[in-house]
Amino acid sequence: MKREDGGHDDRQCGRRGRGRPNRVTKDAIIAAARSLPSDELTMQAVADHLGVGRKSLYYHVNDRAALLKMVLVDRFQDRLRDVHLTSKHDWRSVLHAFAHALRETLAEAGTAGAYFELSGLDAPGALEAFEYVLQTMVNAGFDLQTAGRAATFACDIAITSARYITAEESTDSQPQSLEVLRVMQSMPASSLPALRQVIATRESERTTSGAFEFEFDVLVGWLAQQLASQ
């Protein structure tokens, strides 16, 4: 579009003015990142996908680790919407749905799940979901400090469970219990019968939901006792 002086208005043409940074939205960065396989996800790959220079991303994300965190949180928000968290009202169901959604998100992400940090839960949808967990527990009779600790602990259970699954499936990482098994193999087969059975059961449960559900039930059982004793 021409100006009265015969020049062109860059804003109307959709072009950047000279020296003006090419603004890329955070949503566009996340969408581009989610379209790429995790092992190919780099700042440069996202920039290429968007047709911009890599420096254009720095306003929203500093490096690959931050990029992976953004993708994980966005996927977590999608899963929270799928489980309809706010349609649940019992504190046990709400806490379980939140933690299970986190576990499934990180397990599906594979090794990229290692970049997730609960302190990095910086997306509105995820924060609102966490707030709903806290409010549901407070409404049930828990004090806010206990609710916060319980929600964080439930997330820790979910994160540990997901990372164990990733370790099982990764060729570069193995469960720590393999070191224990090596020592046990050097001992008589009849030794440590109870421990051998516990480890065998534990290993088979870790890649399913068995261990996660057990640990979560222990937490819920303790919380229920605390609530009943008030």
| Average predicted confidence (pLDDT) for the chain | 83
Are 164 and 136 in contact by the 8 Å Cβ rule? The answer is no
50 with 99, same domain?
Answer: no
201 and 126 part of one domain: yes
Same domain? For 56 and 90 the reply is no
Q: What is the pLDDT of residues 156-182, one digit of tens each?
A: 999 999 988 887 665 444 455 667 778
Scanning the structure block, which residue is given the tokens 């409010």? 135
Domain span at residue 4? 1-62
197 against 169, higher pLDDT: 197
Rounded Cα distance, 205 and 214, in Å: 10
Choose one of 10, 40, 62: the last residue of a domain.
Answer: 62
Would you state the pLDDT for residue 148?
97
pLDDT tens per residue, range 15-64: 444 444 557 899 999 999 999 988 889 999 999 999 999 999 998 999 99
Instruction: Please check whether residue 202 is in contact with residue 221, taking contact to mean a CB–CB distance below 8 angstroms.
Output: no
183 or 139, higher pLDDT: 139
Whether 54 and 77 map to the same domain: the answer is no
The pLDDT value recorded for residue 172 is: 45
Q: Are residues 42 and 118 in the same domain?
A: no
Q: Could you say which DSSP state residue 16 is in?
A: P
The answer to whether the predicted template modeling score (pTM) of the entire model surpasses 0.85 is no
